[in-house]
């Protein structure tokens, strides 16, 4: 009888220790998901800040190149698509489209020396550079948080706890644009 009590006590202790460990892992994984969400909020704010510069940039280029509306319009359309996008995956895709449109717009602006000499345009370019830098910083933090979380999901026993808790991988990586 004493042996049965000892065995049950050992089993109960093992279950409690295992339960506590699983709870700790679950809490840690949830905290990492929260870190990813907070990092995304920073990325989103940086993307919105840059998008807010686009109308002024479009207006400045339009004043100097009124006959180029067809080449200027994609930047405004890409900005609108970014504003409509919901969630990281859609925003990342819309941002890639805006990257391309802005590159084309800036390339077009190079054909107008009077625009490039103007203070307003120079100030817009400086603001755009600052916004691009902020996007790069927040993108790196976001991707690091995603990578750290996803790596934990591949390790034992975290993968078991994640599976039971229905915590899946985050696959919305924010790729660095090719230059």
pLDDT at 17: 87
Domain limits, the chain: 14-165
Q: Residue 58 corresponds to which tokens in the numbers above?
A: 């479009």
- State the DSSP string of 109-122: HTT-HHHHH-HHHH
How far is Cα of residue 107 from the mean position of the Cα atoms in its chain?
A: 26
User: Of 1.20.1440.20, 3.30.750.24, 2.30.30.40, 1.20.1270.10, which CATH number belongs to 14-165?
Assistant: 1.20.1440.20
Alpha helices, DSSP H, located in the chain: 2-64, 69-84, 87-109, 113-117, 119-153, 158-165
Question: Can you give the pTM of this predicted structure?
Answer: 0.84
pLDDT at 90: 94
Intervals of the chain under pLDDT 70 = 176-179
Q: Residue 169 corresponds to which tokens in the numbers above?
A: 């991988």
pLDDT at 104: 92
Q: Residue 7 corresponds to which tokens in the numbers above?
A: 């065995």
Sign of the CA dihedral running 158, 164, 165, 166: positive
pLDDT at 140: 94
pLDDT at 178: 53
pLDDT at 2: 81
Q: 56-91: per-residue pLDDT in tens?
A: 999 988 888 888 888 889 999 999 999 999 999 999
Q: 165-179: per-residue pLDDT in tens?
A: 888 888 877 776 555
pLDDT at 65: 82
3-state secondary structure of 107: helix
Cα(21)–Cα(28) distance, integer angstroms: 11
Q: Residue 28 class from Cβ within 10 Å (0-12 exposed, 13-18 middle, 19+ buried)?
A: middle
């Amino acid at each position: 009888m004493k042996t049965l009590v000892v065995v049950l006590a050992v089993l109960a202790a093992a279950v409690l220790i295992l339960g506590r460990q699983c709870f700790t892992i679950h809490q840690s994984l949830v905290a990492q998901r929260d870190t990813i969400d907070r990092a995304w909020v920073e990325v989103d704010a940086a993307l919105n800040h840059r998008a807010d510069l686009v109308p002024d940039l479009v207006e400045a280029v339009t004043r100097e190149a009124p006959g180029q509306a067809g080449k200027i319009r994609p930047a405004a359309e890409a900005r609108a698509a970014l504003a409509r996008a919901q969630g990281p995956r859609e925003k990342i895709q819309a941002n890639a489209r805006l990257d391309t449109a802005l590159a084309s717009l800036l390339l077009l602006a190079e054909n107008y020396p009077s625009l490039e000499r103007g203070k307003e345009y120079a100030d817009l370019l400086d603001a755009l550079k600052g916004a691009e830098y902020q996007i790069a910083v927040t993108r790196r933090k976001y991707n690091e948080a995603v990578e750290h979380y996803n790596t934990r999901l591949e390790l034992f026993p975290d993968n078991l706890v994640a599976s039971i808790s229905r915590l899946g991988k985050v696959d919305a990586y924010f790729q660095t644009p090719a230059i």
